[in-house]
Amino acid sequence: AQSVTQLGSHVSVSEGALVLLRCNYSSSVPPYLFWYVQYPNQGLQLLLKYTTGATLVKGINGFEAEFKKSETSFHLTKPSAHMSDAAEYFCAVSEGYGGSQGNLIFGKGTKLSVKP
């Protein structure tokens, strides 16, 4: 069975500081990994995804994440936080090809606060 663990339900950074949101996964097959962002009272927006190939993935809004198989991690980073980055972030895993229907399994989410 697959699972996702997001360390830290709440992360607070200062504007301009590095953003690091942690995600670890477990999967019995090669995973597809995703980061989504949710603003208050809105749905989820895809930030970036890893399927195959390059392990460093760049997404929208300056975010990137690196797939590290040996550490079963897919941490999300951004060099310099903006106030507009304040939101809830969800890491998700789905089975790759050969799996079932590739349903998403979500972590519990990390709320990012950005201080001026």
Partner 1 sequence: GAVVSQHPSRVICKSGTSVKIECRSLDFQATTMFWYRQFPKQSLMLMATSNEGSKATYEQGVEKDKFLINHASLTLSTLTVTSAHPEDSSFYICSARTGWETQYFGPGTRLLVL
Contacting positions for partner 1 (CB under 8 A): 32, 34, 36, 41-46, 49, 51, 90, 94, 97, 101-104, 106-109
Calculate the alpha carbon distances from 47 to 1, 28, 98, 103 in Å.
25, 24, 25, 18
- CA-nearest of 69, 109, 112, 70 to 92 is 109
Q: Which is nearer to partner 1, 22 or 49 (CB)?
A: 49
Q: Which is nearer to partner 1, 8 or 79 (CB)?
A: 8
Q: Which is nearer to partner 1, 13 or 91 (CB)?
A: 91
In angstroms, what is the minimal distance from the CB of 16 to partner 1? Answer: 27
Q: Name residue 88's beta-bridge partners.
A: 38, 111
